[in-house]
A and B are shown apart, each in its own frame.
Chain A
């Protein structure tokens, strides 16, 4: 440890402003960008999940519609 006390450490030999600005910006950018990325990932996954579900429900409905109109009886039977 190069400093005698915590106050000494904060003061950085009179260069506190510069040292803490530089380190603060670095840590802020690192944590900030990582958090932003993780949030973006979460958002994207839930969006993809939603559209994948819609896709599956879509096929489901089409099949049901076919069956209701009786257009494709064999198709319905095949599924049993």
Chain B
């Protein structure tokens, strides 16, 4: 019972933007430091130390930026869908702030995945762009991100904006399994997953270890970027409140009364 009470209180607190702002400061620093370390190591490892592919040669090194970007772009969308559900069921303000923060990041990373994919496709498949299942469903992912972003710009009423974007975010998660299984459902140029949680990788360790480092680094980059955006949005929304004034003018409690 006591545990249930604690969890309930924690859940309640999580909904408060002010509380989120207060606890998330160290997360930003942590994610930032980890992102710089992991991405720094991963990029050098992938570019110079991983062995070249026996068929693709050095163009295969694009994998180390393409796969993490595509993976994180999808994970961020799933998080946004969950935030949409939380907003819809519990009306949590922080969930709307999370959606607002995920959108620009998602647009950026999905574009990067598509761009690096095209640049990899040119020497490997002989084309910059191919209408294959995975490429098209990733393009749909980009349009979903842009669509929800535009939707939010178009709706002036904040409650309506929150609910509409939460709904589209939830419905759009249907696209994620489509991206995942596209390589099995349709004839495609994309190869099936080389690394899964359930089976042994088909790549040697010196090839997939740098990929793992890059994926972790990309997640940390996402954490840093999205939480920073959330904190900025919280400050913006709460700009008239006393705690924000006290935060930006630490001495205002003393001077303000004079």
Interface SS, B side: helix
* Residue B174 at the chain A interface, CB threshold 8 Å: no
Contact A19 B39 (CB under 8 A): no
Number of chain A residues close to chain B: CB under 8 A:
34
Interface flags for B47-58 (1: CB within 8 Å of A; 0: not) read 111111000011
Partner of A18, one of B52, B105, B120, B248: B120
Query: Which residues on A sit within 8 Å (CB–CB) of B119?
Result: 18, 21-22, 25
| Beta-carbon nearest neighbor of B112 in chain A | A29
Query: Which residues on A sit within 8 Å (CB–CB) of B145?
Result: none
Shortest distance from the beta carbon of B240 to any chain A beta carbon, whole Å? 8
Contact B108 A13 (CB under 8 A): no
Which residues between 208 and 258 of chain B lie within 8 Å of chain A, taking CB atoms?
221, 224-225, 228-229, 232, 235-236, 239, 244-245, 248-249, 252, 255-256, 258
* Residue B115 at the chain A interface, CB threshold 8 Å: yes
Contact B248 A26 (CB under 8 A): no
Query: Which residues on B sit within 8 Å (CB–CB) of A69?
Result: none
Shortest distance from the beta carbon of A32 to any chain B beta carbon, whole Å? 9
Contact A18 B245 (CB under 8 A): no
Contact B62 A19 (CB under 8 A): yes
Contact B61 A52 (CB under 8 A): no
Number of chain B residues close to chain A: CB under 8 A:
43
Known contacts A13-B58, A51-B239, A56-B252; decide if A1 and B48 are in contact (CB<8 Å): yes
Known: A14-B58, A44-B232, A56-B255. 12 other contacts (CB 8 A): A12-B61, A22-B120, A23-B43, A26-B43, A26-B69, A29-B108, A30-B221, A40-B232, A48-B248, A51-B239, A52-B244, A56-B256
Binding site for B on A (CB under 8 A): 1-3, 9, 12-15, 18-19, 21-23, 25-27, 29-30, 33-34, 37, 40-41, 44-45, 48-49, 51-53, 55-56, 59-60
A-B contact list, 12 entries, CB within 8 Å: A12-B58, A13-B52, A18-B59, A19-B59, A19-B62, A23-B61, A26-B65, A26-B112, A40-B232, A49-B248, A51-B239, A60-B258
